[in-house]
Amino acid sequence: MNFLYELKEGLWISWDAIRANKLRSALTTLGIIIGVVTVTLMGTAIDGLNQSFLKSISFLGADTLYVTRTGWFHDSHESWMRANRRRQITLTQVREVQRQMTLARAISPFIATGRPVKYKNRTSGSVTVIGSTDQMQFTDGMTVGQGRFMSAEEANGGRPVCMIGYQVATNLFPNEPALGAKIRVGGAAFEVIGILEKQGSVFGESLDNQVVVPVRQFVTEFWHDPDYEIHVKVVDMAHLEDAKEELRGILRRVRHIPPGAEDDFGIEQQESILRTFNRVAGTIAAIGLFITGLSLFVGGIGIMNIMFVSVAERTKEIGIRKAIGAKRRAILLQFLTEAASICLLGGLIALSIAWPLTLVIGRFMPARMSLPIVGIALAVSILTGALSGFFPAWRAARMNPVDALRNE
């Protein structure tokens, strides 16, 4: 109970002191405002970066394994050069994987190249042309908006059919129905049998600017001896690691790798990209928050300074309060409350400044001021106040009442 009364008294005194020294309080608060604004904006930006990245890589299924010849990550130029000298992955090897693997729900080959796509007099400059099979709709989680995905017969028979991305559809067929139309991809003609649903973009590259054709057609028309990727959707998340091991074993067998030699292929998954990103993003966040934290630190020093002044000015008052029965705790609390109040005020002002700025940032990345960030910002301001107010408050609390009373 005592504590609550003392806290209430502390709040009353703080408010009174802030009102009594308006200019001084405003100047002191400025440091905190700048500190909290920068920290809040940095937090928001980092949060936005993370979110935009997560959104970007969501096209990679969490339960899908990606086999490539080179692998995705290399920590040195040498390892990259070595990976580049590896043998290609052939369609025969993909077929072997399809035949042998038990822990997979779907397996598809994947090859891509860029070609112009034409319909009548309309042209789409550089469209990503993908060669795959009917299984791609499962491995890559593709959904068809209109029409249908290619069938197994079409894929294996190498029929000249294609599924076009959302952007290709809107570019080539602004006024007429696309389904059933014959478009020219590179030099070959393909019948449009499906329009894929809108997917958005990854790292600035649109996923909707693509055309999917049967892999046999791809080989005949565009690239005779391509380097395949294999996309493997596993039976369930729980068996991801088992599936990865099985896949590795099969690939080593079909690529005739002697025991003890290292893999000449890479099996990647969404998680490996996430891990790499998190490492980089973590470093950026740490450095960014450290630098912005410095301004908050400087603001905190300002508070400490002004609290020392405040304590010195009110030595007599401290003496009076102690004489009539204020314990150390009450005095400590009084000045801590004052410092924290100034900082909380600064924090609130800072948030009202950061809010519109966040909206501006929000135009470039999916940033918004989330409730946790608001909470953290306020907590950080109060903490800054309490920490920087502690030393002056402690000095006040320890004052000898006789000496304090003698002070004029």
Residues 396, 332: contact at Cβ < 8 Å? yes
- Binder among 75, 325, 356, 371 for other proteins (CB under 8 A): 325
Of 8 and 122, nearer to other proteins (C-beta) is: 8
Q: Kindly state whether residue 338 participates in binding other proteins, applying the rule CB under 8 A.
A: no
Q: Kindly state whether residue 313 participates in binding other proteins, applying the rule CB under 8 A.
A: no
Of 34 and 332, nearer to other proteins (C-beta) is: 332
What span, in angstroms and rounded, lies between the C-alpha atoms of 125 and 116? Answer: 5
Distances (CA, A) of 11 to 17, 240, 285, 398: 10, 57, 35, 20
Any bridge partners for residue 118, and if so which? 123, 184
H or E segment and range at residue 145: strand 144-147
Q: Kindly state whether residue 95 participates in binding other proteins, applying the rule CB under 8 A.
A: no
Q: How far is the CB of 302 from other proteins (least distance, A)?
A: 24
Q: Kindly state whether residue 1 participates in binding other proteins, applying the rule CB under 8 A.
A: yes
Q: Kindly state whether residue 22 participates in binding other proteins, applying the rule CB under 8 A.
A: no
What span, in angstroms and rounded, lies between the C-alpha atoms of 51 and 94? Answer: 34
Q: Kindly state whether residue 324 participates in binding other proteins, applying the rule CB under 8 A.
A: yes
Q: Kindly state whether residue 317 participates in binding other proteins, applying the rule CB under 8 A.
A: yes
Q: Kindly state whether residue 9 participates in binding other proteins, applying the rule CB under 8 A.
A: yes
Q: Kindly state whether residue 103 participates in binding other proteins, applying the rule CB under 8 A.
A: no
Of 180 and 325, nearer to other proteins (C-beta) is: 325
Q: Kindly state whether residue 328 participates in binding other proteins, applying the rule CB under 8 A.
A: yes
SS3 assignment, position 85: coil
Place of tokens 């904006």: 41
SS3 assignment, position 110: strand
Q: Kindly state whether residue 327 participates in binding other proteins, applying the rule CB under 8 A.
A: yes
Distances (CA, A) of 13 to 7, 9, 80, 97, 407: 10, 6, 67, 76, 20
Residues 123, 116: contact at Cβ < 8 Å? yes
Q: How far is the CB of 16 from other proteins (least distance, A)?
A: 6
Question: What does the CA dihedral 213, 215, 218, 220 come to, rounded to 10 degrees?
Answer: -130
Q: How far is the CB of 2 from other proteins (least distance, A)?
A: 4
- φ/ψ (deg, to 5) at 210: -140, 160
- Strand 122-132 with 210-214, pairing: parallel
Q: How many residues bind other proteins (CB under 8 A)?
A: 25
- Binder among 141, 147, 366, 401 for other proteins (CB under 8 A): 401
Of 7 and 235, nearer to other proteins (C-beta) is: 7
- Binder among 238, 287, 323, 359 for other proteins (CB under 8 A): 323
Of 153 and 313, nearer to other proteins (C-beta) is: 313
Which spans of this chain sit near other proteins (rule: CB under 8 A)?
Answer: 1-2, 5-6, 9, 16, 20, 316-317, 319-330, 400-402, 405
